Amino acid sequence: MLRMKKVSLIIVVVLCFALVMTACNSTSGTTATATAPATAATATVPAEKIKLKFYGKIVEYTSGEAMCKALQDKFKDKYEIEMIQVDWGNLEKVVRTGIASGDPADVYQWWPTQLKKFIDSQMCLDLTPYLEADSGAWKNTFVPSALDSGKYDGKYYGLPEDSNFAIMYANADLFEKAGVAIPSVWTWDEFVQASKAIKEKAEVFPFVVSSESNLIAWLPRFGMASTSMKAGIKSEDLSTGKVDFTAAYFTDVLKNLKDYNAAQYLYPGKGSITQKRDEAKAAFIQGKVAILAEVSSFAAVIAKDATFKLTAIPWPSMGNKSNAENGDKADFDGLFVPANAAHPDASVELLKAFYSPEIMKIHADNGYAPCVKGVEISNPVIKALVDISGGMSSTTGDPININAKMNDYFSKMLMADLCLANISEADIMKKIAELAK
């Protein structure tokens, strides 16, 4: 009886242990290594329909559904394409899990400028042979500066879909009420002065930025990029961490941000560091805030909801007064093919169709700025955004590119450490220097 009791107890403990640990397990031990195809695209017609997974359906974009439908229609006799909605909040987890499982999607959504960590892990397919086949026929369909955003060590891994960068949307009516002129270029000090005037005269919060999708990290990222440019630091040195993070021009950035938040310029005062994207946008649309930080691709949606005079303004510079040196950089939504995709040639065929002028025109007609040539843009707001992006560089230094832990710290923790935990600027920079090692 006693023995039976002991055996039962052991079984129960083992099962408890197992059940708790189940959550931590990963699946099979994939040991595949990435190999780029040696030859150019030579897709053959399969005997039966190949099943492909396209992880690039962006429902937040009004063009997303229609573009995916057009792609499915185009290959309806050849491929069975499963369109998967992009989960922006968990995108990195989704991509990594998918690739690690050994059964990834055939195409993944990811920003071409932020592919380095996947390339370092040999997770991306080298698209260069496909792009350069037939004397670069496919390559020449892209806007060169945009295509270069996905180029690493001379090889192309990511393809840009549309120009999408950080922008400030301004309520021009509130600016007018506060007696502040709409700037075409401005410094951080001018931004603070404008914020003061807006708060006092228009009696609304000057600025809102969401913590969701890590938008709030733009503040320290652009600040540091901007001041490092002024200090003569090379952009690649900032992006690889070969800089002295304890230098005064970096701690000054944090001081600026801390002071700005302490002055209650960030909506809604208490709770400013944890604003949801919808809340931030709603506050701006309702006229409770004068400036909203968002991505440029939301221009059409925001313009549709705004009942006031809406305008786009550049990011303020903490370094030199120049839009080219304000730390904001040209960025793009884009796609890449995982190195262990089951059907790489078919994946590339999908990409070629997706980036065709016919499908990209759907994107442009919905108010997004595509990165391929031969697509006409009629929307004046989008044209203005394209003009602003023209003054930007996609190679601006960015500390989040140093490694995944730095990215995590900037994205989720830095502003909380600075404004909520009241950790000193110097200590935060020491932590950043430690992470950069």
Maximum C-alpha span of the chain = 87
The CA distances from residue 158 to 106, 110, 128, 138, 155, in Å, are 13, 8, 10, 14, 9
Interface region with another protein, contact rule CB under 8 A, candidates 67-75, 90-98, 367-375, 387-395: 90-98
How crowded is residue 30: how many other Cβ atoms within 10 Å of its Cβ? 13
Q: Say whether residue 39 binds another protein (CB under 8 A).
A: no
Chosen residue from 52, 68, 81, 99 binding another protein by CB under 8 A? 99
Q: Which of 15, 137, 181, 262 binds another protein (CB under 8 A)?
A: 15
Instruction: List binders of another protein among 123-182 (CB under 8 A).
Output: 123
Q: How far apart are CA 281 and CA 386, in angstroms?
A: 22
Q: Decide: is 106 part of the binding site for another protein (CB under 8 A).
A: no
Q: Does 424 bind another protein (CB under 8 A)?
A: no
Contacting range for another protein; rule: CB under 8 A; set: 26-34, 56-64, 80-88, 191-199 = 26-34
Whether the Cβ atoms of residue 353 and residue 74 lie closer than 8 Å to each other: yes
Coarse DSSP helix, strand, coil percentages of the chain, rounded to the nearest 5 percent = 50, 15, 35
* Per CB under 8 A, 13 contacts another protein: yes
Interface segment toward another protein; rule CB under 8 A; list 163-171, 230-238, 271-279, 299-307 = 271-279
Q: Which is nearer to another protein, 40 or 416 (CB)?
A: 416
Stretch that binds another protein, among 140-148, 242-250, 329-337, 399-407 (CB under 8 A): 399-407
User: How many CB atoms are closer than 10 A to CB 85?
Assistant: 15
Strands 155-156 and 166-171: unpaired
- Residue 4 in contact with another protein, rule: CB under 8 A: no
In terms of residues, how long is the chain? 437
Task: Identify which of 228, 258, 266 has the alpha carbon closest to the alpha carbon of residue 245.
Answer: 228
Q: Cβ of residue 156: shortest distance to another protein, in angstroms? A: 20
Stretch that binds another protein, among 48-56, 58-66, 165-173, 400-408 (CB under 8 A): 400-408
Q: Rounded to the nearest whole angstrom, what is the least distance from the CB of residue 92 to another protein in the complex?
A: 6
Please identify, using beta-carbon distances, which residue of 100 and 146 lies nearer to another protein. 100
- The neighbour count for residue 162, using CB atoms within 10 Å, is 23
Q: Least distance (Å) from another protein to the CB of residue 17?
A: 5
202 DSSP 8-state letter: I
425 binds another protein (CB under 8 A): no
Stretch that binds another protein, among 309-317, 320-328, 387-395, 411-419 (CB under 8 A): 411-419
Q: Which sign does the torsion angle of CA 130, 132, 137, 138 carry?
A: positive
**Size of interface with another protein, in residues (CB under 8 A):** 48
Q: Is 10 in the site for another protein (CB under 8 A)?
A: no
324 lines the binding site for another protein (CB under 8 A): no
Is 262 a binder of another protein (CB under 8 A)?
Answer: no
In the complex, the smallest distance separating the C-beta of residue 265 from another protein, rounded to whole angstroms, is 16
Cα separation, 363 vs 272, in Å, equals 33
- Of 3, 26, 135, 232, the residue at the interface with another protein (CB under 8 A) is 26
Tell which one of 37, 268, 287, 357 touches another protein (CB under 8 A): 268
User: In angstroms, what CA-CA distances link 422 with 214, 254, 319, 417?
Assistant: 20, 11, 25, 6
Q: Which stretch binds another protein (CB under 8 A): 13-21, 192-200, 308-316, 317-325?
A: 13-21
Cβ atoms of residues 152 and 116 within 8 Å: yes
Residue 40 or 263: which CB sits closer to another protein?
263
Six token digits for residue 267: 């909506």
Nearer Cβ to another protein, position 97 or 193? 97
CB 404 within 8 A of CB 120: no
Instruction: Give the SS3 label for residue 386.
Output: helix
CA 268, CA 283: separation in Å to the nearest integer? 9
DSSP H or E stretch at residue 104:
none
Residue from the set 69, 196, 255, 412 that interacts with another protein by CB under 8 A: 412
On whether the CB atoms of residues 113 and 328 are closer than 8 A, the answer is no
- DSSP string covering 186-199: -BHHHHHHHHHHII
- Site for another protein, rule CB under 8 A: 13-26, 29-33, 92-93, 96-97, 99-100, 117, 121-123, 211, 268, 270-271, 273-274, 279, 283, 340, 404-405, 407-408, 412-413, 416-417, 420-421
